[in-house]
Chain A
């Protein structure tokens, strides 16, 4: 994973939707619509008011000019200077101080990235303290409680000019060849990681992008934290699924998990299987599935590629949670099923083909043409077609009546012609069975 540096985005315009939100489930906290005055476009950080009296910053000498003997001391002083927080909602407040901190952060980033031998043990607690003070904060309430990540512009973090540099510093710190996990683990502990994970709820995509890369590095370098990180991600997901239905960073966490799953040892531990069955599969029920579906499907397929025996759990799970009214989600489910079928083992396919093709038949007869179309595209996939051919005796009787009926009834011409192609394929596959089914279908219809 590479750090992607997003171009500085323009401030978003707050959306104007104002609807009565559904009550929150467990914490009893109503997401009251709190649309602010229009001129406010970015978040304050609730932390700002907790600053004790502001002292004025004075510029320190440059790191590059410092004699070697004083370098570490100066580095440390700069870290301490950067612990000062500024009010970014008032954009003209303490401009001098903001500039001094920005310059110091830039220097720290560059120093950690380029020079060797800077990161000595006493600097670890100071660096982690600076990072903690800056990034850990209670995220402010959403400007737009009905925030729809697909439609609405996210609210951006006001203090990003500093925050970005702090994240950049953290990342360079973790990636530095001098970085010593054995020293860092005393400061980057469970409590630290928990707070880091909570920040994934940030509405600002730039922040989540940094967090993703950083968490991935932490997971890669601090082995002692791995199980804990996985467990806490589990908790975040379970809360998202069963309690709040709201968490902005699901896609980013899933992306990290995708590569974590890739690295699982075989045979899969019970813990990992449980994660698949009790967390990943139920994640498909989320209302906001479209935002993280690609990452979720990737994780699911990763699991199958690791261990084919989980296939049946996955397919039966998806069938259990198959969307009943949301056609947009149905198309996503069909897409995921195709990704799964692309890598399915024939022996596993046989175990699920009956319930699966009953559902596919139901999709083909959907009045929504995109659903029907997506299902019919399966017959354009050579591997799936070969699976169907091998099991034609089972599958054709399951879908025949639907195909026949829909070919006569569907309002959309594209669907009708797709169905004709499918029927033609079946006819060529097994003309005897096809004729038998046609005959019995007609008899059935006569009744």
Chain B
């Protein structure tokens, strides 16, 4: 804890200026024993700096902050973030380098989040340095960090090379490249991981010649590191590097490493390849895709680890979409589809559900005939899968198939699947299927809906889980938007209003919630003639919760009604409710009166 001789303690209030008193309090709190108070004060650091002015911020506040770096990580994190936005508070770009010493210390602490934040702030303020300041102040800091004793400073350095490289002289550039090279072969895997994760970013700012001479050798070395956690990061860099190189160099400079990664003995690396497959595909171009990536993708789809298969399954649609058009169909039919067929009956549910989330997308690529002949059996098999997630994923993507073959082909199998999900014991599954109802209704058409699905939609209104009842209400609104007011009047409004007489008050309230949701879509006529009387009648309900929901409903549907109905029918009821014995009923009635301007 700083003692009283510290200039900061005298910073504010020394000249007896009362306006600085709040600032003096904040500064005191910077040294308080309570972490929460220190934290609050740090978060108001810009206020303190603004009050002190640029000069004293530079000469007094910043040195003080640099000294308090031994604080709790939480405080340090807040400090690291604040300093990234401090440029104007120290006097603009001309003085921005004053912020470097505290950020440098923060970039060396152990706690990863603090360090990352410090690096983020350093990257931000690097842009505000003039080219000269960058070489005089910023770049030496990067070098110091890069040659620090403890791994933390070296990991931080990895994130700073790419921001200063483009704006320094060629001598300094050479030094930066050398430092980066050193860190790529650092002793500690933590540093190598940091370097590997920044390799792509650094490659992007390098001149092409150096990409070929420097980056490729680093990339090859990191991609064959003894630790798989390093190797897998090289896969990410592979995407950026391949994008930078001209097509004719890819085969010799990148492909050997990529091939090796796709067959790495560690599943983590193979997973990474699968996960980045679409990006890799775009980066290497159509020819290499045809010759190399297709077989590699087949292997990933057949990998012995479920994680890898699932990651690859997720990419099936994107991969097929991005195949060169001239022989896309042939590649899919002969190479990809056989693997996909096997995945439909995979032993792992995550693999199947990953596949189910994209498989429907293949129909647009393959066209009507292929879809009916080859894909439809797969969709149907997945619709009958034992795992609800798989079925849901199929149902949620029906729109893709609808465009190609129309949904009728599926509707026979669809219905049992939907009914089963609608009655699933897990409410989250029920909730998910409700959300797809409007989509399904739109595609299946009103007739099919009325015949098969309407009952389900109404049954959800009396589900014993509130979230389901709420979603069911919202679902009705969307259906009315789709099928129109007349349909609503004939099919759902009578059923909804019928629930107003239900012995269970929760169901009576559902009527009110439905009215809230439907009135606008149904329009003035239906609302005034059919809904309003029911609402008004419910104002005599014996349960207070129902009564105050009547008040809320009236407030909600008020704007849909004409002024005559408001004055003659709504107003008296609300006035009566405003004198209710229950205080909540009174409150909501009064609120409705004032919102509807009936007072």
Contacts and interface: CB of A to CB of B under 8 A. Distances in A.
Interface of A: 25-29, 32-37, 40, 44, 46-50, 138, 140-141, 191, 194, 231, 235, 238-239, 242-243, 278, 282, 320
Contacts of B266: 46, 138
Nearest to A242: B112
Which has the most chain A C-beta neighbours within 10 Å: B189, B266, B310?
B189
Nearest to B272: A29
B305 A140 contact: yes
A65 B465 CA distance: 75
B232 A27 contact: yes
B232 A141 contact: no
8 contacts: A32-B310, A34-B306, A37-B348, A46-B267, A140-B267, A194-B226, A242-B110, A243-B193
Contacts of A278: 110, 150
Contact of A138 (B233, B265, B349): B265
Interface string B281-310: 000000000000000000000001111001
Interface string B195-239: 001000000000000000000000000000010110011001000
A29 B266 CA distance: 13
A44 B190 contact: no
A242 B151 CA distance: 12
Chain B interface SS verdict (over half): helix
A36 B265 contact: no
A239 B189 contact: yes
B432 to A, nearest CB: 15
Nearest to A40: B347
Contacts of B267: 46, 138, 140-141
A235 B348 contact: no
B306 A235 contact: no
B347 A37 contact: yes
Nearest to B308: A141
B188 A235 contact: yes
Nearest to B112: A242
A29 B265 contact: no
Contacts of A238: 151, 188, 190
B180 interface: no
A231 B189 CA distance: 11
A50 B265 CA distance: 8
Nearest to B235: A28
Contacts of A27: 193, 229, 232-233, 268
B232 A235 contact: no
Nearest to A25: B112
B271 interface: yes
Nearest to B311: A32
Contacts of A28: 197, 232-233, 236, 272
B111 interface: yes
Contact of B271 (A29, A44, A47, A243): A29
Nearest to B387: A37
Contacts of B265: 46-47, 50, 138
Nearest to A44: B304
Nearest to B193: A26
Nearest to A190: B226
B350 interface: yes
B304 A235 contact: no
A320 B70 CA distance: 10
A34 B189 contact: no
List 6 tightest A-B contacts by C-beta distance, closest first: A138-B266, A27-B229, A242-B112, A49-B304, A37-B347, A141-B307
B500 to A, nearest CB: 40
Interface string B145-156: 000001100000
Contacts of B151: 238
A235 B188 CA distance: 7
Interface in B325-378: 347-350
A49 B72 CA distance: 49
B280 to A, nearest CB: 15
B193 A141 contact: no
Given A27-B268, A231-B187, 8 more contacts: A26-B194, A29-B272, A37-B347, A46-B265, A138-B228, A141-B267, A235-B189, A242-B112
Nearest to A89: B304
A34 B350 contact: yes
A26 B194 CA distance: 8
Contacts of A47: 265
Contacts of B150: 278
B232 A36 contact: no
A315 B190 CA distance: 28
B305 to A, nearest CB: 6
Interface in B21-73: 72
Contacts of B189: 235, 239
A320 B150 CA distance: 21
B232 A29 contact: yes
Contact of B350 (A25, A32, A50, A235): A32
Given A26-B193, A239-B189, A141 B305 contact: yes
A176 B49 CA distance: 71
Given A26-B193, A27-B233, A32 B307 contact: yes
A209 to B, nearest CB: 24
B347 A138 contact: no
A34 B348 contact: yes
A134 to B, nearest CB: 15
A282 B110 contact: yes
A34 B307 contact: yes
Contacts of B272: 28-29
Contacts of B190: 235, 238-239, 242-243
Contacts of B271: 29
